[in-house]
Amino acid sequence: MVSKEEQNSSSSFQFEARLTQASLIKKILEAIKDLVTDANFDCSAEGLSLQAMDSSHVSLVSMVLHAQGFEMFQCQRAVSLGINLASLTKILKCAGNDDSITLRADEKGDKAEFVFESQSQDRLSEFELKLMDIDSEHLGIPDTKYSAVVEMPSSEYRRICSDLGLMGDTVRISVSKESVKFQVDGDIGKGSVCLHPSSVVDKPTEVVKISLEEPVDMIFSIRYLNNFAKAAPLSDTVTLSLSKDFPLQVEFKFGEQMGYLRYYLAPKID
């Protein structure tokens, strides 16, 4: 599975990578395209990564696909592919979920090539996408030990966010040893959802886990949390990490060693 053909001079491409499942890329794109319009896909020997802020600079998307997660990954030099996500979505619509997808960037660096191959290898489609020059600020995300880490089913996360989103625009997330509580105080009234850590571990995907250093009580904009919920198809579980006076981290893992999609959301303050 891991095939790093480094310094393969036979290839005329600076960067070439193949994923067996186009669906992963499609889902990732679905999960971020509402937050971010244009983004640089940074290709390096380590893998493919993306970091972008939403237009109001309240949230940050950070996606990493490790090189070992690809069927084939080859990067002669670091390139940064400036892509309009709406355009990429159009191209990816042409790929079947089970198609394999090959991404190439040549030396000129003004376009990226996408090759979709069906599982039975009887259909091959090729697309070329013009690249853009995107000035983006790269933020340094400090390594942090969060005070509270909550793991929960992503479907549960999605449901809470969409339910509470109907009530108001801000949600108060309070994490204690016993529970994690989502409270909303809106114009029509208030409401709350409280989750307790699962005592019995039946299905690993439905587990609620809380690891706590110290209790946290913070407020966030529901709109953004709802946006993050679009990544739910990527992973069965979601991890919310909170620290006082620090952005909330919402992480969706793509599976073992593949990579992750993380959202950061700046808190609201009283």
Interacting residues toward another protein by CB under 8 A = 44, 53, 56-60, 76-78, 82, 84, 87, 90-91, 107-111, 124-134, 137-142, 170, 219, 221, 246-247, 264-270
Residue position matching structure tokens 């108001």: 168
Please report how close the Cβ of residue 137 comes to another protein at its closest, in angstroms: 5
For residue 89, give the nearest of 18, 34, 14, 21 by alpha carbon: 34
CB nearer another protein, residue 67 or residue 152: 67
Please report how the helices 85-92 and 22-32 are oriented relative to each other, as an axis angle in degrees rounded to 10: 150
Instruction: Give the single-character DSSP code of 177.
Output: S
Residue position matching structure tokens 């970091």: 51
For residue 180, give the nearest of 203, 219, 209 by alpha carbon: 209
For residue 253, give the nearest of 237, 266, 241 by alpha carbon: 237
Q: What does the alpha-carbon distance between residue 158 and residue 264 come to, in Å, rounded to a whole number?
A: 16
Q: What does the alpha-carbon distance between residue 200 and residue 50 come to, in Å, rounded to a whole number?
A: 37
Please report how close the Cβ of residue 208 comes to another protein at its closest, in angstroms: 27
Please report how close the Cβ of residue 197 comes to another protein at its closest, in angstroms: 28
CB nearer another protein, residue 53 or residue 195: 53
CB nearer another protein, residue 57 or residue 177: 57
CB nearer another protein, residue 77 or residue 196: 77
Please report how close the Cβ of residue 223 comes to another protein at its closest, in angstroms: 10
Please report how close the Cβ of residue 198 comes to another protein at its closest, in angstroms: 31
Residue position matching structure tokens 């069927």: 71
Q: Which residues pair with 111 in a beta bridge?
A: 130
Please report how close the Cβ of residue 19 comes to another protein at its closest, in angstroms: 20
Distance between first and last Cα of the chain:
50
Q: Residue 155 is which amino acid?
A: S
CB nearer another protein, residue 152 or residue 171: 171
CB nearer another protein, residue 195 or residue 216: 216
